Homo-oligomer: A and B are copies of this chain.
Amino acid sequence: MNKSRVTVIDIARAAGVSKSTVSLVLQASPLVNEATRAKVNATIRELGYVYNRGAANLRQSASSRIIGIIVNDLTNSFFAELAVGMDMVMQSAGYVQFLSNSAESIDRQREVIASMREHGIAGLILSPARGTEAADLKPLVASGIPVVAVVRNVVGAKVSTLFSDNYAGAKDAVRHLIALGHRRIAFLGGISNTTVFTERVQGWREALAEVGMDAPDTHVIPSTASRAGGVAAIERALLLPDPPTAALCFNDAAAFGVCDGLRAAGKEPGRDFGVVGFDDVIEAETAVPALTTVSVDPQGMGRRAAQLLLKQINAGRVEPEAIVSSVRLVVRQSCGAGSSDKTRRIFA
């Protein structure tokens, strides 16, 4: 249709003012006369003018109002919720976001970061792919762009962080299982050389230590953080000379796998074996049996991460900050504590 786009100069000409005046109107400056403002605004609407942010950002002073978000697995509803939380805050703050899914690939993550940098993002929130190194974030940090790492850690990187309280969550969960009478409680699933894993195991260990119970290494059975990993872990656990009667699982996906594995072995989760997950994904509530799990409110975390980043962007000076997001245990059926009608009907 329009062979060339409408610019400030076009409206200036049409409205009979200078481009400077139009610019002032655009940024709602109080310097411009009411009548002039009205006339310019009318012309803007009439000609269908579209503000060109790219051009505006060219001047060195301006910061771009674009922020980058990279998550390692958007198909995981935990991260999808996280992203939605960020989206909310960024939206309302007038920012627009490049959201990308690294799919756990550091190469892809590197590409995306480079691309975002070229587009001049004002900040980055990153849920790092496994194996992310401080060097991957170095150039961003060096050029003064605030970075917030969420969920997972990037060792050695001087960036702000926002993690859930893995330690306290795991501790609470295990305390609950102890209170239910369990004396041999395993930790199942998850990849062992990650910070998250270490923290959750630490919580498990401390809860047992509190009441003078044993925390043998044989009861920590790592695997992948997935359903399949959960199945594998519980299979190995049941072969132990002193098999556990309950388990804290690395995350909900693994916990579902543990339930599958238990059934395959003729045991009913919740009745014959206590299962507790971590994350509180949406399916946890509606699964059968409903999963007892540590809720981390991913959407809330996303919101907080976004607020933290915005604070840093506005502050100018980037001062890395570490925030720990609290969690709470949600007791449902799978630990054996619940006794809702639903559970009764199925397991009685």
List chain A positions with a Cβ less than 8 A from chain B. 1-2, 4-5, 48, 50-55, 57-58, 60, 64, 66, 74-75, 77, 80-81, 83-84, 87-88, 91, 96-101, 103, 108, 111-112, 115-120, 139, 142-144, 256, 263, 282-283, 286-288, 299, 342, 345-346
User: Is A2's CB under 8 angstroms from B80's CB?
Assistant: no
Complex Cα spacing A24 to B203, Å: 57
With a 10 A CB-CB cut-off, give which of A54, A118, A142, A256 has the most chain B CB atoms: A54
User: Is B96's CB under 8 angstroms from A50's CB?
Assistant: no
A1-B142 contact given A54-B57, A74-B84, A75-B80, CB 8 Å threshold = yes
User: Is B143's CB under 8 angstroms from A53's CB?
Assistant: no
A100-B98 contact given A66-B119, A74-B83, A87-B74, CB 8 Å threshold = no
Neighbour of A87 across the interface among B60, B100, B342, CB < 8 A: B100
Q: List 25 A-B contacts (CB under 8 A).
A: A1-B143, A5-B60, A48-B139, A50-B117, A50-B118, A52-B118, A53-B118, A54-B55, A54-B64, A66-B119, A74-B80, A74-B83, A74-B87, A75-B77, A75-B299, A87-B100, A91-B100, A91-B108, A96-B100, A96-B112, A96-B115, A97-B99, A98-B98, A263-B342, A346-B346
A119-B142 contact given A60-B4, A74-B84, A74-B87, CB 8 Å threshold = no
In the complex, given contacts A53-B120, A54-B119, A88-B103, what are 18 additional A-B residue pairs having Cβ atoms less than 8 angstroms apart?
A1-B143, A2-B143, A5-B143, A50-B117, A53-B119, A54-B55, A54-B57, A54-B64, A74-B84, A74-B87, A75-B299, A96-B98, A96-B100, A96-B112, A97-B100, A263-B342, A283-B286, A287-B288
With a 10 A CB-CB cut-off, give which of A57, A64, A87 has the most chain B CB atoms: A87
Secondary structure at the A interface, as helix, strand, loop or mixed, is helix
Neighbour of A58 across the interface among B55, B117, B299, CB < 8 A: B55
Complex Cα spacing A64 to B91, Å: 22
Which residues of the partner chain B approach A96 to less than 8 Å between Cβ atoms?
A: 98, 100, 112, 115-116, 119
Which residues of the partner chain B approach A64 to less than 8 Å between Cβ atoms?
A: 54
Complex Cα spacing A140 to B235, Å: 56
The smallest C-beta distance from A302 to any residue of chain B, in angstroms, reads 11
The smallest C-beta distance from A2 to any residue of chain B, in angstroms, reads 7
Which residues of the partner chain B approach A99 to less than 8 Å between Cβ atoms?
A: 97-100
User: Is A286's CB under 8 angstroms from B87's CB?
Assistant: no
